[in-house]
Amino acid sequence: MSYTINPDREKPWNGLPELPIEENYYRDLDILEQLGESKAAIAKLQGRSVAIPNQAILINTISLQEAKASSEIENIFTTDDELYKAFSDDPANLKQGAPKEILYYRESLWKGHRYLRETGSFDIKYFELIYRTITGLNDGIRKPFAQTHIRQGGSGPNAGKTVYTPPRGEGIIESKMENFIQFMNDDTLFPIDPLLKMAIGHLQFEAIHPFRDGNGRTGRIFNINFLTQKGLLDFPILFLSKYILQNKESYYAYLAGVTQRAAWKDWILFMLKAVENTSIDTFHKINDILSVKDAILHVLEKETEISRPDSLVEAIFTQPFTKVKHLTDKKLYAENTARQYLNRLHEMGICERREINGGHYYLNLELYRILAS
């Protein structure tokens, strides 16, 4: 099967070819070499993550970073401080705004993860679930004749010009989604390495562009959920969007390379490289967090009379900002003791006490530094 080139980027590309793509890509030596590196890196990350005593800790903080980076690709910005503060409060009380949108992203990541655990495979409901959670919208697949174009962003000479127009028309998105979903689920009919499937699948999903908004973020959540669904990782900890954010221009250019010129090779190499770099990066972050955590525990055990220091350390590594309430909710300490201990951490330079809107928050300085780096 040969890949048809999109004839006109202003017109809906109803000729978008179904998957799989041409066979020669699966035998391309550059792709295979990079695939080997990427697989090794993600396997190493998975190996490290199973050794973490309390996985919830890292997953909480790392998925928050993923949510922040992916949202920034779509120009939803917030400062780390604002985000961490929002994260340590009750999300139900949050006003609409960037921190809330980012928490929606994180919620979607988890909803998707659990959905796949329960159902075992991708289906259209999975994508609608992610889309709705992320955008807060209630509809589903785009209406057959709704106008949707992907335009060049930024302020350069081509800003505002159409880069690509996704397919539309009665039943067209539905049937392309069906093919895409079958490709992702069926490893007998499509026996292709999961990392290659993820790279190809992400592009196909963006090219179908089934929703009126949120396709970029939905597609990036899909990447991570796919990796856990295929067993490459136990938990959605790969922080892929950071790499995409740092290479945003390339991300758009390679997407357009496929939808305009069928340039699959560059796209696949880009995504495989993203997996390799991010796996290495996440691996180091996990190591750094664990060793700092151990060091702090050691100091508390040696230099203080704090009771249950291990639980206190677990608690301050569950999110960057800790509040007295976090400790009392867990029934760890009485309120006065909890406050006294957190103040002690502040005096020792482990946490920094901050007053925000009349409430006290204790920022875990080392955790904050590692996450931000």
Nearer to ligand ATP, 36 or 154 (CB): 154
The single residue among 219, 236, 309, 320 that binds ligand ATP, judged by CB under 6 A, is: 219
Nearer to ligand ATP, 105 or 362 (CB): 105
CB of 150 to ligand ATP, least distance (A): 5
Mark 291-300 as b/e (b = at least 16 C-beta within 10 Å): ebbeebbeeb
Residues 182-221, mask of contacts with Mg ion (x by CB under 5 A): -------------------------------x--------
Distance CA 321, CA 103 (A): 15
Distance CA 285, CA 63 (A): 13
CB of 148 to ligand ATP, least distance (A): 8
3-state secondary structure of 227: helix
Torsion of CA 293, 295, 296, 301, to 10 degrees: 120
Q: Which two tokens stand for residue 50?
A: 């199973």
H-only helix segments in the chain? 29-50, 55-73, 80-88, 98-119, 124-135, 172-185, 194-208, 215-229, 240-246, 248-261, 264-303, 309-316, 324-329, 335-347, 365-372
> DSSP string of 297-334?
HHHHHHH---SSHHHHHHHHTTSSEE-HHHHHHTTSS-
88 touches, from Mg ion, ligand ATP, none (C-beta below 5 to 8 Å by class)? none
Under the criterion CB under 6 A, does residue 163 sit at the interface with ligand ATP?
A: yes
Distance CA 11, CA 305 (A): 70
Is residue 351 within 8 Å of 364, Cβ to Cβ?
yes
Under the criterion CB under 5 A, does residue 28 sit at the interface with Mg ion?
A: no
Under the criterion CB under 6 A, does residue 213 sit at the interface with ligand ATP?
A: yes
CB of 234 to ligand ATP, least distance (A): 26
Under the criterion CB under 6 A, does residue 150 sit at the interface with ligand ATP?
A: yes
252 touches, from ligand ATP, Mg ion, none (C-beta below 5 to 8 Å by class)? ligand ATP
Q: Which of residues 292-321 bind ligand ATP (CB under 6 A)?
A: none
CB of 153 to ligand ATP, least distance (A): 8
Mark 230-269 as b/e (b = at least 16 C-beta within 10 Å): bebbebbbbbbbbbbbebeebbbebbbbbbeebbbbebbb
Under the criterion CB under 6 A, does residue 221 sit at the interface with ligand ATP?
A: no
Stretch that binds ligand ATP, among 112-120, 178-186, 208-216, 333-341 (CB under 6 A): 208-216
Distance CA 342, CA 257 (A): 53
Is residue 306 within 8 Å of 344, Cβ to Cβ?
yes
Distance CA 202, CA 24 (A): 19
The residue count for binding ligand ATP (CB under 6 A) is 17
Backbone angles phi, psi at 120, to 5 degrees: 85, -15
Distance CA 85, CA 97 (A): 13
Nearer to Mg ion, 153 or 359 (CB): 153
Under the criterion CB under 6 A, does residue 177 sit at the interface with ligand ATP?
A: no
The single residue among 13, 115, 131, 164 that binds ligand ATP, judged by CB under 6 A, is: 164
CB of 199 to ligand ATP, least distance (A): 13
Residues 62-81, mask of contacts with ligand ATP (x by CB under 6 A): -----------xx-------
The single residue among 259, 279, 282, 364 that binds ligand ATP, judged by CB under 6 A, is: 259
Q: Which residue sits closest to Mg ion, CB atoms considered?
A: 213
Nearer to Mg ion, 211 or 254 (CB): 211
CB of 220 to Mg ion, least distance (A): 12
* CA-closest candidate to residue 321, choices 103, 84, 100, 64: 84
Under the criterion CB under 6 A, does residue 206 sit at the interface with ligand ATP?
A: yes
Is residue 298 within 8 Å of 282, Cβ to Cβ?
no
* CA-closest candidate to residue 104, choices 72, 131, 144: 131
Stretch that binds ligand ATP, among 124-132, 167-175, 213-221, 227-235 (CB under 6 A): 213-221
Q: Which residue sits closest to ligand ATP, CB atoms considered?
A: 216
Give the footprint of Mg ion on this chain (CB under 5 A): 213
Give the footprint of ligand ATP on this chain (CB under 6 A): 73-74, 150, 163-164, 206-207, 213-217, 219, 252, 255-256, 259
